[in-house]
Structure 1
Amino acid sequence: MSVLVTETEAQDWLRDKLGVNASGMDRLSRLVDLLLEENERQNLVARGTLPHVWVRHIVDSAQLLHVSRETLPAGEWLDLGTGAGFPGLAIAALQLDRPVTLVDSRRLRTEWLQRAADALGLANVRVVLSRVEDLPSGPHAVISARAFAPLDKLVTLSARFSTPDTLWLLPKGARAAQELQMLPESWNHLFHVEQSLTDANAGIITGRLLGEKAAPAHVFRQRGHK
């Protein structure tokens, strides 16, 4: 698989492969401008990534719409530990009809996320200031998390937001395959690793969580929750 390197390649991929129209590209360009401006006030992303912001953040997020072998299910997208808004805010800018919930435990980050969503006119975005542990349980169509927690911890924390139909999309960097191998055997899943389009050494864990093997597949125990 060819890895995208330049900003031009990244923007061409969005138009030609993902089919992003002019309005979508305008929203993403505005998101980039907002990110660069806010990064002067708070450290949203590493400064070294800014010269390659389209590759490292925009396409790195947008590829989640493309990378899975499965059809992306309709319904609410839950982005855990969203930080600077990647992937969730970029996804919301590309899929205006999809509700996207952005969760982060840092007030400054959530304030920025809300300002950015408002500036982009993203009525489909809901920003939640919370730890994942404190979120109310409930099913979602898609769950994403970028550099949030190791897979075993993430699954334990987040299984209560999932059903067997939920698609998980988890950018995991170079440790993707290792994290998947370390997932306890007690979890029944259909996860696999896909190659990232933006980093030859990075992988994305994607697939479905069927439940805990000790319980019926449709039962998701709320670990640590009463």
Structure 2
Amino acid sequence: MKCDADTLAALQQIPEFDDKARARLVQFAEAVRDENRAQNLIAASSLDQIWSRHFLDSAQLLHHVPRGTGPWLDLGSGAGFPGLVAAILRPECDVRLVESRRRRIEWLERASVRLGLDNITVIGSRLEAAEGFTAGVISARAFAPLPKLLDISARFSTIETIWLLPKGRSAAQELDDLRGWRHTFHVEQSLTDPDAGIIVGTLAGKKVARA
């Protein structure tokens, strides 16, 4: 689970990637490897590429988030991507991880302690049941199709909230198909996959139907 030269070079373009963050990511990789023996956090075949497929894939989102923006709400955090990586790179940021599966909730709580992160809150419930608050950033990786994602999470957003939605190869199509919302979304190319995209932007709310 070593970090290859190209991935390391890309991570070094992120100002927050310092020696302390790197050491924590090494710990995180070890924790994922250990936990993967008990539950399938990530595909076993991707463990050797964890630095590129999971760490850099998560860390690249910080290019779109000015320092001081928060709190950061990560939907369906699962194994901790991108939420735990964001918390590692920005330890001053209030990061809140939403996860409804019991074993994943317990994993996120253990991982936060193991990594010495005191800026993490694990919200162990379905998003629909979570108490509302205003998020500065909302991220979601493989959480839900775009229309459903917006329907259930827009209540956490204002017109200033930054949305970061890695959507793989479906990003452009999902955005083209989106109807009924006022937004500034656009697609950024992923640094880890030339065919994958990240939907980035802000949301102003639902369009008002004309009589």
Common fold: TM-score over 0.5: yes
**5+ residue gaps in structure 1?**
1-5, 216-226
Displacement over 3 Å in runs of 4+: 70-73
Q: Which residue of 2 aligns with 1:18?
A: 14
Corresponding residue pairs, total: 206
Which residue, out of 120, 127, 135, partners 2:115? Answer: 120
SS of 1:83's equivalent in the other structure is coil
One-letter code aligned to 2:198: I
Does 1:198 pair with 2:195?
no
Aligned equivalents of 1:90, 1:71: Cα separation in 2? 16
Which residue, out of 194, 208, 211, partners 1:214? Answer: 208
Task: Give, in angstroms, the shift of residue 136 of structure 1.
Answer: 1.7
The share of aligned pairs that are identical, in percent, is 51
Aligned equivalents of 1:195, 1:75: Cα separation in 2? 24
SS of 2:165's equivalent in the other structure is strand
Structure 1 length-normalised TM? 0.88
Structure 1 contact 100–124 (Cα < 8 Å) conserved: yes
Aligned equivalents of 1:76, 1:158: Cα separation in 2? 14
Task: Give, in angstroms, the shift of residue 127 of structure 1.
Answer: 0.6
Task: Give, in angstroms, the shift of residue 199 of structure 1.
Answer: 0.7
Structure 1 contact 152–182 (Cα < 8 Å) conserved: no
Structure 1 contact 73–166 (Cα < 8 Å) conserved: no
Q: Which residue of 2 aligns with 1:221?
A: none
Which residue, out of 131, 137, 140, partners 2:135? Answer: 140
SS of 1:200's equivalent in the other structure is coil
One-letter code aligned to 2:14: L
Aligned equivalents of 1:188, 1:18: Cα separation in 2? 31
With 25-34 and 130-139 compared, the bigger mean Cα shift is at: 130-139
Aligned equivalents of 2:130, 2:181: Cα separation in 1? 22
Change (3 A) 1:96 1:81: same
Q: Which residue of 2 aligns with 1:182?
A: 177
SS of 1:210's equivalent in the other structure is strand
Q: Which residue of 2 aligns with 1:47?
A: 44
Task: Give, in angstroms, the shift of residue 72 of structure 1.
Answer: 5.7
SS of 1:158's equivalent in the other structure is helix
One-letter code aligned to 1:133: E
Cα RMSD, aligned residues only? 1.4
Aligned equivalents of 1:8, 1:161: Cα separation in 2? 38
Q: Which residue of 2 aligns with 1:37?
A: 34
Aligned equivalents of 1:140, 1:111: Cα separation in 2? 23
One-letter code aligned to 1:30: Q
Aligned pairs (5 A) from 1:140-159: 140-159=135-154
Structure 2 length-normalised TM? 0.94
